[in-house]
Amino acid sequence: MDPGGTRGLSRVHRHLGGEAKTLNLSKYISLRVINVDAYQSVGIRRRMKRFFRRDGRALIFAMDHGFEHGPTDFEPVWEHVNPKVIIKKVTRAGVDGVMMLPGIARVAADEVRGRKGLMIKLTSKTALRPRDGQLLQSQLGYVEDAIKLGADAIAATVYWGSPAEDVMMRQFAEVANYAHDLGFPVVQFAYPRGPYINEKYGKKEDYRVVMYGARAAAETGADMIKTYWTGSKETFAKVVDAAAGVPVLLSGGAKTENPLDFLRVVSGVVEAGGAGAVVGRNIFQRENPEPMIKALLRVIHRNEEPEDAAKAEGLL
């Protein structure tokens, strides 16, 4: 991918009928930059609204687990291995958006109906890789692929602190630069992980590490940030502050056996100023995901207490 340099000039070259080498392009390019600046901000704002309600919060369903973890993640409720089945259920239950990889988007993006955002993630890895390759997310596709699939936002992961940090940082910069040029918001899955983190901080969820990753995501141009829970609303509030106004969403993580435990975490995120959650296993590993989704929506959008939301949806 070319983040707007050579690729941008090639578009100019075609527009001018191949005469770019002999013409003074400075005026053309300066006008183009002004127009891009004006249009891209409008496009980004409009597309962000497809995920976030007026309260500035969102519940987004995550569907990249079949690739990153393997189909065994769906064994608790095997019919959900079919993306059309689970995406139809979650959209009917009222999620604000859906995140998936390009291949599954080709199969199931038509199920994301109504005023719901579609987020396409362009980097990933399998759990089959050797251990020394697990700290790198590789590129699966390009910004043009996501746009052709109808994406409203484009996502990529950076493992801050990984030995391969520079590779993922460069991937994200290229995605963000080109997507922004076309008016598309970019989401960074800011996941600090690596041997130095474990050595110095003990765990990747230490608020100092998560806070650093959130700030790095903001510094590299993210329009949304997905990251870890830090264990308390007080420490997560520092993560939100460090993101400098970029919306921070919780990474849902492993399924909790007691739904109330997860609702309490999400409530803590909201109380800390977080913008909601991106949730996969806590939804698709439940036989009937609708009550959990509706309870999450109560917590995120209505500020209901977790216990009240759980009771209202029959989870207690």
Q: For residue 92, which phi and psi values (nearest 5 degrees)?
A: -65, -35
DSSP for 221-262 reads: T-SEEEE---SSHHHHHHHHHHTTTS-EEEE--SPPSSHHHH
Report DSSP state, residue 115: S
Structure tokens at 5: 């340099």
Is residue 255 part of the annotated active site? The answer reads no
Report DSSP state, residue 144: H
Do residues 70 and 127 make contact, with C-beta atoms less than 8 angstroms apart?
yes
Which position has the token pair 């001018």?
16
Please report which helix (H) or strand (E) contains residue 187, including its range: strand 186-190
Structure tokens at 200: 């110095």
* Active-site residue identified among 89, 116, 204, 226: 226
Report DSSP state, residue 61: E
Instruction: Name the residues annotated as catalytic.
Output: 226
